[in-house]
Amino acid sequence: MSRNRQTGWLVSGNVSDAPREATDQDNSGELGSPEGSMVHARGLHKSFGDFEAVKGIDFDVRRGECFGFLGPNGAGKSSTMRMIGAISPVSSGTLRMLGMDPATHGSQIRAKLGVCPQEDSLDAELNVSENLFVYGRYFGLPRAPLRLKVAEMLEFVQLTDKAKSKVSELSGGMKRRLSIARSLINDPQLLLLDEPTTGLDPQARHLLWDGIYRLKQAGVTVVLTTHYMDEAEQLCDRLVVMDDGRIVAQGTPRDLIAHHSTREVAELRFPVGDQQRYADQVADLAERIEVLPDRVLLYTADGDHAVAQVHARGIATETAMVRRSSLEDVFLHLTGRSLVD
């Protein structure tokens, strides 16, 4: 087993081998889902009694891509992830994971998945390496190679020096890295990350993004959920925006922005309570306008020009900032609401 000792979230031997193993199986028929995709969903529904959490969604995840579910809390992302994780039965519709039906082949599907849940389920009483070891055993990995794999994974997430520490002694970021290491212990063909950076400080988030990005570069197929637009833009090749159990838009981050927003946004801040009055005076300067409680957003191809025109009209702004459009703007346009409440 090759051991790369570079610092950082290194791409070690087996992690980079994972996609190659998947490729080797291309012609075995196992991955032969209807469209040859890793995940194939049509008319996917999930209900809890009278409550419908997922209201009939269609999507495909292709091999080697990072696919994102973006949406506010309660949009149905986690319910979808639990169905994809072959844990939660589909209420109606079609779902094929790696060409298999989770209703009949849940265990076989899970053998090829790596799942990093939103809420840590590490064993607080076991130490860091024991957590990885016992988990690897659930996948039937033999003990001797598993010990090497555990050491390799600890190196990958930079926790080698914490190998003997109790999980309860780790920081939030370290626990999340350990959860990700655990989800990679079986060299999964598909990695599911449910809100991987929620609750982490910016430094820990960037460390995780770097790691996920390296996994993606190594060819691992990743499905993640997030309610951070910057996270989705950084990591996802393609994504779907969910709201109220439905997919409201899908595409690459760039396509979504191009299709649902303008190139730039001018953010104007006026005195409290005056946003609407000033908005009426500048509405004609942009293709589209959004009035938020604390600011007015002008959607335009040239933000600087729009701000100059506002000032030329003698309208004083408290602050005026020009930025590029983001997925937040797409979401705001599609749903009329901010992503993070």
Binding footprint of other proteins on the chain (CB under 8 A): 29-30, 48, 85, 87-89, 100, 105-108, 110-111, 113, 115, 117, 119-126, 130, 133-135, 137-140, 143, 183
Number of H helices, E strands in the chain: 12, 13
Please report how close the Cβ of residue 94 comes to other proteins at its closest, in angstroms.
Answer: 18
- Cβ proximity to other proteins: between 69 and 135 the closer is 135
Q: E-strand spans in 246-333?
A: 246-251, 264-269, 288-291, 296-300, 319-324
CB of 126 to other proteins, least distance (A): 6
Tell me whether residue 150 or residue 154 sits nearer to other proteins (CB atom).
150
Q: Which of 31, 95, 85, 87 is nearest to 57 (CA)?
A: 95
Query: Could you give the strand order of the β-sheet that contains 264-269, starting from the edge strand earlier in sequence?
Result: 288-291, 296-300, 264-269, 319-324
Q: In angstroms, how far is CA 237 from the centroid of its own chain?
A: 11
Least Å from the CB of residue 140 to other proteins? 5
Which lies closer to other proteins via its Cβ, residue 151 or residue 322?
151
Closest CA relative to residue 268, chosen from 296, 301, 288:
296
Q: How far is the CB of 104 from other proteins (least distance, A)?
A: 10
> Which DSSP string corresponds to 99-112?
TB-HHHHHHHHHTT
Considering beta carbons, is residue 30 or 237 the nearer one to other proteins?
30
Q: Give me the least distance between CB of 175 and other proteins, in Å please.
A: 12
Nearer to other proteins, 166 or 214 (CB): 166
